[in-house]
Amino acid sequence: MAESHKHLLLKQVAMRWLQSTGCVAWVFEVSFYDIGIVDVCGLKKGGDTYVIEAKVSTSDLRNDFKSKIYKYERSKQIDFIYYIVADGVDTSNLPMFIGLLNESGKVTRKASRRRPKQKSDKEVMQSFRRVAKALSWRKYKHVINHEQEQIEFSLI
């Protein structure tokens, strides 16, 4: 099924919100081995991983929630989970650990941290590599620096 214009707009608002929170890398449609594909993923310099799902209707939210909530609760890869929803979408059944953004990108409920804040360098680099892998097929170049290690990825 093709992506709706509204869904794409929500993903773009989510990406701008990730930029405003200090994420140094962000990408659409990232695959996590323990969750599946998420709409938007952002990564902060310290390795915090943000996932945002964009939902345009209550039924879309309900279906996604049923299929992913168990996975979200047990994920070891994600620090913060947010849903960005179109106006009028009923979010009353979402667990409190999931944050909410309205369609203009304003936080209406802050997400709870899902993993311990302290990460090893190995965990930070795994997070950066996941985003790099997701970006590798796109036609632009990004460079991410983390301490002494530099990851460069591109397809030109």
Domain boundaries, the chain: 5-117
Who wins on pLDDT, 147 or 57? 57
Q: Which of 18, 96, 22 is nearest to 54 (CA)?
A: 18
Q: Can you give the pLDDT at residue 121?
A: 62
pLDDT in tens, 20-72: 998 888 888 877 777 778 889 888 877 788 999 999 999 988 888 777 777 77
5-117 CATH, one of 3.10.620, 3.40.1350, 1.10.10, 2.20.180: 3.40.1350
C-alpha count within 13 angstroms, C-beta hemisphere, residue 145: 2
Residue with tokens 């390795």: 47
Kindly report the pTM of this predicted structure.
0.76
**Which stretches within the chain are classed as H helix?**
5-20, 58-74, 121-135
pLDDT in tens, 89-145: 999 888 888 999 999 999 999 999 887 666 666 666 666 666 666 555 443 333 333
Who wins on pLDDT, 2 or 69? 69
